[in-house]
Structure 1
Amino acid sequence: MASHRRPKQPSRARVTVLTTAAAAAVAISSQAAQAAPSEKPTKDEVKAKVDKLYEEAEAATEKYNGAKEKQEKLQKEISTIQDNVARGQEEVNELREGLGSMASAQYRSGGIDPSVQLFLSADPDDYLDKASTLDQLSSQQVDALEKIQDKQRVLAQDRAEASEKLGDLSATRDELGKKKDEVKSKLAEAQKLLNSLTAAEKAALQQEEQRASRDSADRVQLGDAPAGSGRTMSAYAAAQSVIGSPYVYGASGPSSFDCSGLTSWAYAQAGMQIPRTSQAQASFGTRIYSQSDLKVGDLVIFYGDLHHVGFYAGNGQVLHSPRTGAVVRYESINNMPFQFGVRI
């Protein structure tokens, strides 16, 4: 006879173990899904990230340029002060020798004047106050002592100024190194992103860049925009002469440029020195806030921190050195956040 016994039910402990195992399996599966690598970014997404890094690199480049310009200025000032100190010390030495000659003559004639002896044996800073009670001083000696005192005061001031500027120079060199490292870091990060693209995607981006440069030269028409002054147009013509030159951070010509390197180089060709950085150039002339009031050759400043500059080319176009990977070219003024123009 067949057995009619009811199948044995799993114990409560066994159910608990099975439930726990199932939950663990679900959790592991969920974690594995979360840990799965995200989809590879598209060419356009990579380009957007790279463009952002290039913009950040350019902002750092302008700060680098400012630190470099300050360093060069300080070095010139320190060199001038040190030359002045050297010449001043020579003059003091000559005056001391002259005073020593007086003392020698006095010694040969019967003894050294107490006032001269005092000067030769001690710091003369407070000498004249003490010497005012000494009748032995000749007018020639008084003149010599006053000249020495004046020279020593000037030398002390020059040395203090040189010391202060040397401190500024050291700090500026530190800042320069940090900004250079920041630029290199941004560019390296951008290059890493570009290296993640396939050969076909890289070729497509390169073709887009070349087409942008080629088309910009073909389509630019000055339209009805009035021309700037003679010197301004000479600078603008100089910038036009280097269309196609590559952007290189920190470069100011004649074969490669960053944005402010192009504008400062162009004005130098026109016989005028303007500041090196875009921020300094933004404050150099008269600001023009309406695009409709711009003249051909006016400088145009972009971004809130004023880290980009170019020339207004008319018809809503700018002539500039855009960024790493690009060349000096025309571009729409609306491709970047316009702040104002500067008329020099």
Structure 2
Amino acid sequence: MGSHRRLAPSSGFNRGAGTALCVLSAAAAGLCAAPADAAPHTDTRTEVDRLYAAAEKATEAYNKADERAGELRREVSDTQDRIARQQERVNSLRDTLGSLAGAQYRSGGMDPSLALLFSDDPADYLDKAAALDRINAREAGRLRDLTSAMRELDQERSEALGSLAELDRSRKAVAAHKRTVERKLATARRLLASLPHAERAAYDRASRSTRDSLGFPSLGGAAAPSARAAAAVAAARSALGRPYVWGANGPSGFDCSGLMQWSYARAGVALPRTSQEQRSAGQHVPLSQARPGDLITYRADASHVAMYVGNGQVIHAPYPGAPVRYDRVGMMPISSITRV
């Protein structure tokens, strides 16, 4: 391990987790206030859209908490490794100091003035005594430093474990919100099923693509700006038809940001986990300059992300119950276009 470093305090995460939980709590409260029984068709479509948006926000909050949990676990492990190495050094110093003390005792442990008087070689004795004093002072100083370092590392370990415990509690709370949203999504599916066929078709055309979009549309004349972007597009296309799965980043299922992370990983690029982080993972470009492989984030909070593939279309994992598929790039309000 490199130079000593303090672990990031848990308050930073707690603020992030608290913000996510507040958002989710507000969303859940609003959803619970919405009637689940029959409503006018326009209100039904609006409610379904709201439910889908809440589900995506919950998923990204959960992903962020899960990512932070992994970081904290690694930090705790690194801290424990440092503590173990420091403990070995302390033990070694203790052994050395014990040996020196034993040697002094075996030499008689007499008063220094008497030892000097009875020494066969007083000059040699003085040299050894001075050297021993220097050794003792040096080793005692090292021991003091290491004891102080041990106290600091123990404190770090305690703080890290406390942060991890707090993180796990937050993750459980986010998971509880997730279950709430899943129940609401089931309500959304029932609401959609209650609509006449023509209304359901109109909803699909207005908000998302139809199932026919699982075909392979032409990418037009647009070319990917780099080999890695082309590889990411190819990977995303290979995932067409796979299910949307909460918190998943492949290969059997995906959420929206998980699909982007997995696709770019196949191209040798490590993207961050959440759609909000992916928005800042490269250079922003205007929609008029979008090229295949660019990441399109949606809504002001960047709670959804898709990959542009040309011809005015994106590939994405839409929402629970829908497979990875093509959609129009303008299916939702665009937040940004990021070129990785």
Specify the alignment match of 2:289 in structure 1.
Answer: 293
For 1:254 and 1:44, the matched residues in 2 are separated by: 37
- Normalised to the residue count of structure 2, the TM-score between the two structures is 0.76
Specify the alignment match of 2:5 in structure 1.
Answer: none
- Offset of residue 43 of structure 1: 6.2
For 1:82 and 1:135, the matched residues in 2 are separated by: 39
**Aligned pair 1:237/2:269, yes or no?**
no
2:338 aligns to what SS in structure 1?
strand
Which of 99, 102, 105 pairs up with 1:104? 102
- Offset of residue 160 of structure 1: 2.1
What is the correspondence of 1:104-123 to structure 2 with a 5 Å cutoff? Answer: 104-111=102-109
Specify the alignment match of 2:179 in structure 1.
Answer: 184
What is the correspondence of 1:205-284 to structure 2 with a 5 Å cutoff? Answer: 212=209, 214-218=211-215, 220-284=217-281
8 Å contact kept, 1:103–1:112: no
Specify the alignment match of 1:319 in structure 2.
Answer: 315
- 1:276/1:193 CA distance change after superposition, 3 Å: closer
Letter aligned with residue 339 of structure 1: S
- 1:194/1:234 CA distance change after superposition, 3 Å: closer
Letter aligned with residue 293 of structure 1: Q
Which of 169, 177, 189 pairs up with 1:174? 169
1:249 aligns to what SS in structure 2?
coil
- Offset of residue 196 of structure 1: 6.2
Specify the alignment match of 2:159 in structure 1.
Answer: 164
For 1:198 and 1:277, the matched residues in 2 are separated by: 31
- Offset of residue 152 of structure 1: 2.3
- Which has more radius of gyration? 1
1:279-310 Cα deviation digits (max 9, x unpaired) = 1111111112x211111101111111111111
**Aligned pair 1:58/2:56, yes or no?**
yes
Tell me how large the CA RMSD over aligned residues is: 3.1
- Offset of residue 97 of structure 1: 1.2
Specify the alignment match of 1:75 in structure 2.
Answer: 73
8 Å contact kept, 1:74–1:169: yes
- 1:343/1:81 CA distance change after superposition, 3 Å: same
- Normalised to the residue count of structure 1, the TM-score between the two structures is 0.75
1:19-51 Cα deviation digits (max 9, x unpaired) = xxxxxxxxxxxxxxxxxx998335665444233
8 Å contact kept, 1:247–1:323: yes
For 2:197 and 2:66, the matched residues in 1 are separated by: 34
Give the unaligned 5+ runs of structure 1: 1-36, 115-133
Identity in percent: 40
Q: How many residues align?
A: 288
Specify the alignment match of 1:93 in structure 2.
Answer: 91
8 Å contact kept, 1:58–1:249: no
For 1:148 and 1:69, the matched residues in 2 are separated by: 38
For 2:218 and 2:75, the matched residues in 1 are separated by: 46
Letter aligned with residue 343 of structure 1: R
1:54-113 Cα deviation digits (max 9, x unpaired) = 211111110110011001110111011012102211220121011111101110111189
- Offset of residue 278 of structure 1: 0.6
- 1:285/1:219 CA distance change after superposition, 3 Å: same
